[in-house]
Amino acid sequence: MPSSTSCFATRMIPTSCASTRPPLFFGAAVFVLLIVTLSRGVLLPQDPPALPVQAVGTVRVLLGAGFAEPGVHQFSDGLTVRSVIELTGGGAAGDAAGPAGVGDLFLAEGMAFDVVDLSENKREIWQGWMPARQRLALGIALHPDRMSREDWEALPGIGPRLAEQIENDRQIYGDFGSFEALERVKGIGPGKLKGLRAYFSSEANGTK
């Protein structure tokens, strides 16, 4: 029968194994280092920006059919339509004429351009504006003088009938010039203006 001494010896941890255990202070140091690292965000993914950042002094325009690179592009706001044609490689737009002065127009947010075939040997560049839905999706504010009837219908609280009244008013009396001038249209009062104001630019709202 083994003695109590030998029994105790079999339960003892060998010295070589015991020496491999990290000291208590070492484990605590690792834990503290991990907490500090996490608090600094080193191991945490950075939150992406809520909205894409647009560079200062740039505008987004839509180049349509006939351009070498159709789609939404971002350019310097000091460029003209003619400069854009040269930068994008021309395409059919390179051979197209335009209404008087269109080539010298400076770009503005939300502009849209198309090359239209007028005849077999004649093309023109037509300038308009992106659809309201597309402008809003890109974060481009609207302006009451840059809207079609379909654009007005895309806004909440404006149906086909009111959209037609707005369009007819502009054709008869000219551009609105400001957002507040929309109140001259029958069916648009202070309450309607308040609901629409957030969709329009500070320029249209008469503020800077």
User: Do residues 145 and 120 both lie within one domain?
Assistant: no
81-132 tens-digit pLDDT = 888 877 876 665 556 655 556 778 889 999 999 887 777 777 788 889 999 9
Q: Residue 51 CA to chain centroid, in angstroms?
A: 6
In degrees and rounded to multiples of 5, residue 149 shows phi and psi of -60, -40
- Residue owning tokens 């491999």: 20
Domain termination site, one of 129, 152, 186: 129
User: Do residues 146 and 184 both lie within one domain?
Assistant: yes
Q: Any idea of the CA torsion for 171, 174, 175, 178, to the nearest 10 degrees?
A: -120
- Structurally, the chain folds into a number of domains equal to 2
147-198 tens-digit pLDDT = 999 999 999 999 999 999 999 999 999 999 999 999 999 999 999 999 999 9
Domain termination site, one of 69, 94, 129: 129
Is 81 part of a structural domain of the chain?
yes
User: Do residues 124 and 182 both lie within one domain?
Assistant: no
Q: Please give the model's pTM, rounded to 2 decimal places.
A: 0.64
State the Cα–Cα distance between residues 18 and 134, nearest whole angstrom: 70
- The CATH number of the domain holding residue 186 is 1.10.150.320
User: Do residues 64 and 103 both lie within one domain?
Assistant: yes
Domain termination site, one of 78, 100, 129: 129
User: Do residues 114 and 169 both lie within one domain?
Assistant: no
State the Cα–Cα distance between residues 152 and 144, nearest whole angstrom: 9
Buried b or exposed e, range 123-132, using 16+ CB within 10 angstroms: bbbbbebbbb
Is 136 part of a structural domain of the chain?
no
Domain span holding position 148:
141-199
User: Do residues 124 and 153 both lie within one domain?
Assistant: no
